[in-house]
Amino acid sequence: MTHVRSFKPVPADPGVTRQVLADAPDLMVVSFTFEEGAKGTLHSHPHVQSTYVEAGRFAFTISGETFEVGPGDSFVIPSGAEHGCACLSAGRLIDTFTPRRDDFL
């Protein structure tokens, strides 16, 4: 049986809005909308994260290495890796976490 849940967007970092799109105990899909110049603060978590750039341009830092990404790019962030980003051009990221980020519920 499929359950559809609706989550409202919530503020994350300044200039960043987070919205859970789907979740299950083993997987979560989350949208992050960034204003130009907004930052995703450096952090780490035990979850493996996959990020897809739907729109915009971002400078990502993962474990001290910085690279630029744009629409259509995707990458994986390992469990425990310190990471964050700076939004170079307003956009949207689609992040998938395994297991689910219960702190986002």
Q: Domain of 83? A: 17-100
Question: Has residue 64 been placed in a domain?
Answer: yes
Question: Has residue 74 been placed in a domain?
Answer: yes
| 51: CATH | 2.60.120.10
Question: Has residue 3 been placed in a domain?
Answer: no
Question: Has residue 5 been placed in a domain?
Answer: no
Please write down the HEC assignment for all residues of 50-102.
Answer: EEEEEEEEEEEEECCEEEEECCCCEEEECCCCCEEEEEEEEEEEEEEEECCCH
Rama region for 102: left / alpha / beta (φ>0; ψ in -120 to 50; rest):
alpha
* 45 or 2, higher pLDDT: 45
pLDDT tier at 1 (50, 70, 90 boundaries)?
Answer: very low
For residue range 74-85, list pLDDT tens digits in order: 999 999 999 999
Regarding pTM above 0.75, the answer is yes
Question: Has residue 1 been placed in a domain?
Answer: no
